[in-house]
Chains A and B, each alone.
Chain A
Amino acid sequence: MGFLEPVGRLALDALEFHGRCVTLLGLTVRGLFRKPFDGRALATQVVRVGVDGLPVVLLTAVFTGAVLALQTYVGFKRFHAEAWVGSVVALSMLRELAPVLTGLMVTGRSGSAMAAEIGSMRVTEQIDALVSLATDPVQYLFVPRILAGIIVVPMLVVLANALGITGGYLVAVRLLGANPVVYVQNTFQFLDLNDLWSGLVKAGVFGFLLTLIGCQQGFDTTNGAEGVGRATTAAVVLGSLAILVSDFFLTKVLF
């Protein structure tokens, strides 16, 4: 069957991709516990991921909160439940939208940048140069980037939560004329600390996945400059998919 061949190839590619990620993760974990732990490199990556992600994540969060308030208001008004707009916005942001959208934005901003940077190091033999200087390239390149992802994405999510709720408030109070005191009260009335935590755990997992995939795609780049472009795109596509798929399972299994 003609159509089975591409399907089969896709399955093999997926298997190989998965295998590479697991192998490189193993090397990263080993590198994490081996001697030269480079605190400076970690700090550099934390700042870079944070600074790069901040504006786009904040904008995304404000507008998501705002549109969410607008939409739920329209829907809830039909059965006179406008009062609960604040609760819906807060719950959706904390549990779901802030971590997922932040993860996707950081993938586009930093996961891709990591793939491009490491990919161009691969094709210009800088990775070979690291090995020739008796330096483990996985330890040197992956450890600070993946740790930075795990640390920074939850931090960005905390800000995204705050901005999302603010966006919802502005729309509800300024645009739709909701009572500010009631709105704020309803926003926090049904929130549970667990809602915040579950979002932050997700954020940590997403930060881990998107940096691992970004680094892996760069590290396994072949075919010169053209390959760097392909690795960059693949880092975004595969990173986003990994976030969406793992989000489902995290939601289902953990919370």
Chain B
Amino acid sequence: MPGSGGLPEIRLTALSKRFGPKVVLDGLDLAIAKGESIVILGKSGTGKSVLLKHMIGLLTPDAGTVEVEGEDLWGASRSRRDEIRRRFGMSFQEGALFDSMSVGENIAFPLKRHTKMTPGEVSARVAECLSLVKLHGIEGKRPSELSGGMRRRVGFARAIALKPEVLLFDEPTTGLDPITTDVLARVMIDLRDRMNPTMVTITHDLKVAFEVAERVALLDRGKILVDLPPREFEASDDPRVRAFVQGDGSEDAESGSPEEAAV
């Protein structure tokens, strides 16, 4: 549970990142304890995905450090960094399933690469991961045959295949209908309760946020602006939090134009 001694699972210190002239992260600090579930909120294009990608070393910071259990990700060797990455499972915005492979091969991919499991053990683990995300018997399907919600759940299943300690979710429910959103939120809560991972979730959806989070943080102009437990976050009278909480529906509509349209 939060702060139960030891090093934080993830610690970002003075993290800065820019793309050309555009400053996305600006000296951001954030520490996440083992087993904690944090949700990061923020408008579209503020850099939530960029922040999440720094945690697993998909992007290199311009300045500042990323530490995983006290180990500097970019001070480590390449192979060590890959070992550290094996402690993570990441679910991407649109699932990012390998479309040259079937669903089963997608989930088996990390198992075949990083374990010595026999084919029988692999297919048992694949079925187990699928049942953890409430899917059954779709191993032979191609990603293109699946609905958006199913693709993301298969993405979850692939992310948990190696039993990671840390789960990262990048907008798991964005662009889905309310019923599918509920299904996904329940799957996430179920994963949290079964695996007790450290969990970092990015979302626009306040309902989902308050359901899965123990901490809610608001990212704004490259920094963590507010970082509070869900109830206090909801009750906060910070004007930018109020704008976010009250503008729940309109937020999506306003930010939805460039990115969502492309989807």
Contact = CB atoms under 8 A, between A and B. Distances in A.
Contacts of A225: 262
A194 interface: no
A135 B79 CA distance: 10
B101 to A, nearest CB: 10
B92 A128 contact: yes
A181 B220 CA distance: 83
B109 interface: yes
Contact of A126 (B57, B90, B99, B110): B99
A131 B85 contact: yes
A224 interface: yes
B92 A224 contact: no
A16 interface: no
A126 B96 contact: yes
A71 interface: no
A224 B85 contact: no
A55 interface: no
- Among A126, A129, A136, which residue has the most Cβ atoms of chain B within 10 A? A129
Contact of B113 (A117, A124, A132, A133): A133
A36 interface: yes
A124 B96 CA distance: 6
B94 A134 contact: no
Nearest to A127: B96
Contact of A134 (B92, B99, B114): B114
A28 to B, nearest CB: 15
Contacts of B210: none
Contacts of B56: 131-132
B96 A129 contact: yes
A129 B86 contact: no
Given A36-B113, A128-B53, A128-B58, A134 B96 contact: no
A211 to B, nearest CB: 17
Chain A interface SS verdict (over half): helix
Q: What is the size category of the interface that chain B forms with chain A?
A: 20 to 34
Contact of B94 (A121, A125, A131, A135): A125
B90 A129 contact: yes
Contacts of A125: 92-94, 96
Contacts of A135: 113
A134 B82 contact: yes
Interface string A26-64: 000000000010000000000000000000000000000
Interface in A83-141: 117, 121, 124-126, 128-129, 131-136
B88 interface: yes
B99 A131 contact: no
Contact of A124 (B58, B88, B89, B94): B94
Interface in B70-115: 82-83, 85-86, 88-90, 92-94, 96-100, 109-110, 113-114
Contacts of B98: 121, 126, 129
A131 B99 CA distance: 16
A125 B158 CA distance: 14
Contacts of B158: 129, 133
A134 B262 CA distance: 29
A134 B86 contact: yes
Nearest to B59: A128
Nearest to B109: A133
14 contacts: A36-B113, A125-B93, A126-B96, A128-B53, A129-B92, A129-B97, A132-B89, A132-B90, A132-B159, A133-B113, A133-B158, A134-B82, A134-B85, A224-B262
A-B pairs with the 6 shortest C-beta distances?
A125-B96, A129-B96, A134-B82, A132-B90, A134-B85, A125-B92
Given A117-B100, A132-B85, A134-B110, 16 more contacts: A121-B98, A124-B94, A125-B92, A126-B98, A128-B90, A128-B92, A129-B90, A129-B96, A129-B98, A131-B57, A131-B58, A132-B56, A133-B110, A134-B85, A134-B113, A135-B113
